[in-house]
Structure formats: structure tokens, C-alpha cells
Chains A and B, each alone.
Chain A
Amino acid sequence: SAVISQKPSRDICQRGTSLTIQCQVDSQVTMMFWYRQQPGQSLTLIATANQGSEATYESGFVIDKFPISRPNLTFSTLTVSNMSPEDSSIYLCSVAKGLTLGYNEQFFGPGTRLTVL
């Protein structure tokens, strides 16, 4: 398995500000992802965090709003920029362990609960 930590665990922010969420894994992993879970909803993939290169974003998510960094194989950050109340969600990072070919076990961090006022 993988031990994943996220900081902060929760935050309350004012609209128009930005928040950076950190994700730290206890071992090197092949892939890291960022998901959003809006209130009462299931998880939606925001982007794949690529080590040493730009993140790959899913439809509906853009780099200007959700800039992502991944400087090494154990760490990534997600920034929620120019926040509005609609950004209030739980943000979760996940990691895939194993080879890129075939299917990997995927583990999730504890999440960051963001409330935007």
C-alpha cells in the first residue's frame, strides 16, 4: 500500500484568494492524480500530475484555475486559484503503484476539505 498525507486537511477561504494543497507519499510512485468531490457528489478527476512536465487536465479543468506541480516522484501540489463558493469541495490526491502497463492498485489521500465564503 501507500501512505499519503495531505496538507491542509481543511481550510476556509475568502473568495478571490488562492489555496495550495500539498500531497506527500511515503514512497516513489508512478502516477499521481488530483480529484474533486463536490458536496453530495462522487469523485471527478481534475488532472494527472506528471513528474517534471506539465500536468494533463481533464475536460472542464484548466491550468490557470488549477495549476499543479510535481517536482519529484513523491510530492505534488494543487492550487485552487481565484476561488469562488463553487470551488467548495473535498480535494483528494491519489497515487498508482506498480507498472504503467497493467493495472495498478490506487490509493487515496485523506482529502482536503475546502470551504469558500
Chain B
Amino acid sequence: SQELEQSPQSLIVQEGKNLTINCTSSKTLYGLYWYKQKYGEGLIFLMMLQKGGEEKSHEKITAKLDEKKQQSSLHITASQPSHAGIYLCGADGVDAGGTSYGKLTFGQGTILTVHP
């Protein structure tokens, strides 16, 4: 089965600082999802990456998938208190023919705290 490891497990930054969260897989990533979760709530979809070398941005958040498709990073520029929460990466499973199962395996999450 696929395992995802996120680093760091927790992160405390001062408002305005940049930060990066990493997600590393034991197997090739065919569909990599990033979500944000506020404590005790549902997941907010941020971005999905499919292709090696792909990069997507939304507001101050940028996600990249490396060429080998085994590592992804999430970068937040000029962090704000509203960015605080738990960031989760999730990987899709596929069959031998490349069809998505749609079933996600998640990393353990990165807890982000942003001090004003």
C-alpha cells in the first residue's frame, strides 16, 4: 500500500513569513491532493497535481509535484493567521491500466500555527 510522509509534523511561524510543507511517497504519485482542515471540521480542497513537474497556485499558496512524482511541496508566501490549520496531502490509487480508484491515502498532516 502507498504511504505518505509529511514534514514537518508541526510548524509555528510569524505572520508574513514564507513556509514549505513536504509530502513524500513510497510509490509513484498518480494524483496528489492538498487539503486544509480547521480543527474538528471538514477538508477544504486546495489543489490537485497529476503530472511530473506540475505546479499550481491559488492566491498565496503554491503546490508542486516533482518530476519523479514521488514528492510534493506546498509553499505559502507571506503567511497570515487565516492560513493556520492542518494541511493534509492525499494520494490517489490507480489500477494497472491507470484508471483512478478515487480512494485517497493521506499523510499524517502538518499543523500550521501563524502568530500575528
Contacts and interface: CB of A to CB of B under 8 A. Distances in A.
Q: Do A and B come from one complex?
A: yes
A1 B43 CA distance: 13
Given A103-B30, A108-B45, A111-B42, A33 B102 contact: yes
B42 A106 contact: no
A90 interface: yes
Q: How large is the interface on B (under 10, 10 to 19, 20 to 34, 35 or more residues)?
A: 20 to 34
Contact of A101 (B30, B41, B43, B100): B100
Interface in B77-109: 88, 90, 92, 98-100, 102-109
B108 A42 contact: yes
Interface string A17-53: 0000000000000110100000001111100100000
Interface string A85-99: 000001010101000
Contacts of A58: 103
A7 to B, nearest CB: 13
A106 B45 contact: yes
B116 interface: no
Nearest to B32: A103
A42 B100 contact: no
A43 B88 contact: yes
Contact of B42 (A33, A44, A92, A96): A92
Given A42-B106, A43-B88, A103-B50, A108 B43 contact: yes
Contacts of B100: 96, 100-104
9 contacts: A30-B102, A44-B106, A45-B103, A94-B43, A96-B100, A101-B98, A108-B35, A108-B42, A108-B45
| Cβ-closest 3 pairs across A and B | A108-B43, A103-B31, A110-B42
